[in-house]
Homo-oligomer: A and B are copies of this chain.
């Protein structure tokens, strides 16, 4: 495919030289039906409308304890010292995320294939699925800095070559999400709007962007437009709650000045009919620890 053809056929252009109009998404959000899995028709309809679904009690209190211990073990695992899959806070040096965690932790690998997850991911995406990205996130009390507003799909499309928004993320809270300890904010319905971003992607940009994103970030004008159109909702709930959210929903988080930490398990399922091609707007694909290219269906 030549550069010209690509430009002509790219439904989701980004990293532009000048601001582009917000694009109405062409692809569906929910690809399966209520016959395909645990979500009933009303739940699928709501997910399609809002772009996310919160499921309280998604895992049991016993599992919360088990996975919390696993996260603690991983954060202090000396064999992961200097491992590029471990991302640390810019200022404090504390562990912020561990990527490709299903290849590091047997427990989390098993969880990713648990029917509670796999059946829902397959149903939402209407096909077999594989894991595009997995990680565990630690937001310590006091020191947790947030993420500015962004769409994951914008990055996955531009930098990883994901063709269409046919991926879904599942975030499982291992600590309570209060309204005030830096939890995820989403704009309900914003997954229907694709916001092209301005700025050419630098080489090896992922080395900085995972700590603090500066390119692939929507303009304040676009965020303001979406916020007034869609409003803002927060992912709050007890430990064990899950948030399923569409890859194109606009989301972000503030900082955390409370002593209450937040941690979660974060798994991104992509359809096997939507596997990665060449990046749409970056010099080279990102490392597979961030955007996997093993498309073997999960079983």
User: Which residues on A are within 8 Å of B, measured CB to CB?
Assistant: 141-142, 146, 148-149, 178-180, 182, 185, 220, 223-224, 227-228, 232, 234, 252-260
Residue of B nearest to A185 (CB): B180
New A-B contacts (17) at CB < 8 Å, excluding given A146-B257, A254-B257: A141-B224, A148-B257, A149-B257, A178-B232, A179-B234, A180-B185, A180-B232, A180-B254, A182-B254, A185-B257, A185-B258, A224-B259, A227-B259, A227-B260, A252-B257, A253-B257, A254-B254
User: For the complex formed by this chain, how many copies does it contain in all?
Assistant: 2
Q: In the complex, A259 Cα to B223 Cα: how many Å?
A: 7
CA distance in complex: A178, B254 (Å): 13
Q: Which residue of B lies closest to A252 (CB)?
A: B257
Residues on B with beta carbons closer than 8 Å to the beta carbon of A223: 142, 259
B258, A255: Cβ atoms under 8 Å? Answer: no
How far apart sit A227 and B257, CA to CA, in the bound complex (Å)? 11
Identify the interface centre among A142, A227, A258: most chain B CB within 10 Å of its CB.
A258
Q: In whole Å, how far is A172's beta carbon from the nearest beta carbon of chain B?
A: 21
Write the nearest CB–CB distance from A260 to chain B, whole angstroms. 7
- B259, A256: Cβ atoms under 8 Å? no
